[in-house]
Amino acid sequence: MRRKLAAGNWKMNGTLASLGEVQALSRSHTAPKVDILLCPPTPLIWPMASARDGDQVMVGAQDCHANTSGAHTGDVSAAMVKEAGATAVILGHSERRTDHGETSELVENKVNAVWKQDLLAVICLGETLKEREDGDTLAVVGEQLAASTPEGANGENTVIAYEPVWAIGTGLVPTLDQIAEVHDFLRAELTARFGETTANDIRLLYGGSVKASNAAEIFAVSNVDGALVGGASLKADDFSPIVTALEASV
C-alpha cells in the first residue's frame, strides 16, 4: 500500500521568520497518517530542518546539479543539500524547464545524482495550455516520464508529480476526469516499463492550484497519491487542511 504524500514547494519564497510555519504544521500533525514534505529555498534547508518540532515534516530541496562538484557557480550538489538536511529533491519542475531550459535528459542525470545520495527524487511532468488544447497531453507527459526517469526507479527512490503548467498558480484546475486520465496513463506507462509490482509502489502526485477547498475531491481520484502544493504550502493554516484531507483519504 503506497503511503500518501503531501509535498509543499515554497519556490523563491520564505525567510527565517517563516520557519514558525513548519513548527505550526508539526504541532498540527503530531502523528501523521501520511508523509509530509516541505521544500524551501536552498538557504532555508538547514534552518528548517533544525527548526522542526519533531520529525513529522520532512525537508527537501527544489533542485540540485547533476555533478557532485566543480566549477558551477551558483549551483549546489545533491550531497550538499543532503548535508543541509534534505531527504528529497524536486526535479524537472516546469519553472526549471522553462526558465532554465532544462531538458528531460538533464533531469534524468539529476535524478541519478539524487539517487546516489539515497535521496528521494520528485520528478515533475506537465503540459502547457496549448499542448492540452491540441490534444497532446498524454504524448507530452509520456515523453517527459520516459526521458526523465532512469532505469532503477522504484517506490523508495522516486515520486512522480503531474503538474499541468497552465494550472500552476493560476487558480485553474483540470476536471477530475482529466486528472484521472493522466494519472491512470502514468500508472500504465510505469507498469509497462518497470512491471506491475514496482509501478504500484511509485507514488503519483497531482499539483496545480491545489487548496483546502478542492483537495478532498482531487484525492478521491484514482491513482492520485497526494499533492505537490505551491502557494498554499507557505502557511500552516493553508497547508494543514490539505494534509488533513489527504489523511482522510487513507
Active site residues: 93, 163
Which string of DSSP letters, residue by residue, matches 145-195? Answer: HHHHS-TT--TTTEEEEE--GGGTTTS----HHHHHHHHHHHHHHHHHHH-
How far is it, in rounded angstroms, from Cα 31 to Cα 17?
Answer: 25
How far is it, in rounded angstroms, from Cα 121 to Cα 183?
Answer: 18
Best CA proximity match to 153, nearest among 126, 184, 193:
193
Cell digits for 28?
A: 498540527
CA 179, 182, 186, 192: dihedral to nearest 10 degrees? Answer: 140
Q: Positive or negative, the Cα torsion across 132, 136, 138, 141?
A: negative
Residue written as cell 489527504? 246
Contact 76, 65 (CB under 8 A): yes
Residue written as cell 519553472? 95
